Amino acid sequence: MRTTLVTLLALLMTGCVTSNAVDFEGRDENVAFPTGRISFLIADAGPKDVGVRVESGGTDPSNRGWKLTLDGEVSRGEGSFDQRLAATETLQLHDVRYSGPSEARGRFALTAGSIHAHGHGFVNPHIAFDVFGGLAVSDMQVRVSGTQVTVPGGVAATTRVRDRTNRTALGPEVGVGMSIYPVPQARIYGRASYHFGVHAGDETELQRFEAGVSVEPAPGVSVFGAWRLWRYRADEGGSFHTDVEVDAQGPAFGLEFAF
């Protein structure tokens, strides 16, 4: 009789998967994003005196222009997370089902690459607005460790298990931005972009926000540092057996080469 009660209790705990399954949620505010960028000039009708003031002490409003470039970027961010599961909650990311009450822990690594056409329009020599669009790819890798409840031989057992999975998605990306040139070799910028990807019919979204400073110590070579926020969302499907939500933010840094 006692064994039967234990078995029923274990089945109740493991039988709540459908009604009490939770999404995978990862949060990390201390992620570093090493980044590499490359830019090829296609057309240039920009102002001749970017960052230079005229004799009157202000900028020349008639000195406007634009330029068009083909840009490429590759960046990666890695972070950790802790997700608390209540007694009636379960989480199944890939092949393993984690049961509460417990804490699922792990790491994620998100790599994003893009290539797009970039329009840079000057309002005056110090201020410019950006519009860009093209193709992007995102690859999310997740490793999770947590508690799993099983019923071998009619007796409930709790074990620590690990699982890992990934999803790569390809799709369009669009974005906007703004740049301020206080001096010719420095640029203060902000940008935001949205990437929609598809993998085997399953949808993925990546929103990227960034604000930083870029300095050009030598012609065609820039060093930049920024604060970045990535918001990743993936629907259930394929290797993901639940919806996946990851927010990662932290410092971004790298080099940009312009040709």
Each residue's pLDDT expressed in tens, for the chain with a length of 259 residues: 444 433 434 444 444 444 488 888 889 999 999 999 999 999 988 776 655 544 444 445 555 788 999 999 999 999 998 888 887 887 777 777 777 777 888 899 999 999 999 999 998 888 999 999 999 999 999 888 877 665 555 555 567 777 788 889 999 999 999 999 998 889 999 999 999 998 777 889 999 999 999 999 999 999 999 999 999 998 877 667 778 899 999 999 999 999 9
Distance CA 90, CA 96 (A): 10
- CA geometry: angle at 233 spanning 146 and 141, to 5°? 50
The pTM assigned to this predicted structure is 0.81
Number of domains in the chain: 1
In a domain, 131, yes or no: yes
Residue 155 lies in a domain: no
Q: What is the DSSP letter of 5?
A: H
pLDDT score at 48:
65
Q: Is 238 helix (H, G, I), strand (E, B) or coil?
A: coil
| Closest among 170, 177, 178 to 134, alpha carbons compared | 170
Please give the pLDDT value at position 135: 98
Instruction: Report strand pairing: 244-258 vs 33-44.
Output: parallel
The CA–CA distances, whole Å, from 200 to 110, 166, 241 equal 19, 13, 14
Question: What is the reported pLDDT for 231?
Answer: 97
Q: Are strands 157-180 and 127-150 parallel, antiparallel or unpaired?
A: antiparallel
The enclosing domain of 121 has a CATH number of: 2.40.128
Determine the 3-state secondary structure of 146 from DSSP. Answer: strand
- The phi, psi pair for 135, rounded to 5°, reads -120, 140
* 3-state DSSP of 13-67: HHCCHHHHECCEEEEECCCCEEEEEEEEEEEECCCCCCCCCCCCCCCCCCCCEEE
**Does any domain span residue 32?**
yes
Residue 117: inside a domain, yes or no? yes
Range of the domain at 209: 23-88+103-145+165-258
Question: Looking at residue 155, what DSSP letter applies?
Answer: -
Please tell me the distance from the alpha carbon of residue 16 to that of residue 132, in angstroms, as a whole number: 46
Give yes or no for a contact between 24 and 242, defined as CB atoms under 8 angstroms apart: yes
**CA 50 from chain center: how many Å?**
32
**Residue 57 burial (CB count, 10 A):** 6
> CB–CB of 32/249 below 8 Å?
no
Is 97 domain-assigned? Answer: no
Enclosing H/E stretch for 158:
strand 157-180
- Cα separation of 170 and 42, whole Å? 25
What does the alpha-carbon distance between residue 172 and residue 182 come to, in Å, rounded to a whole number?
A: 33
Task: State residue 11's pLDDT score.
Answer: 42
Whether 16 is covered by a domain: the verdict is no
What's the one-letter identity of residue 132? F
| Domain assignment present for 8 | no
Task: Classify residue 96: in a domain, yes or no.
Answer: no
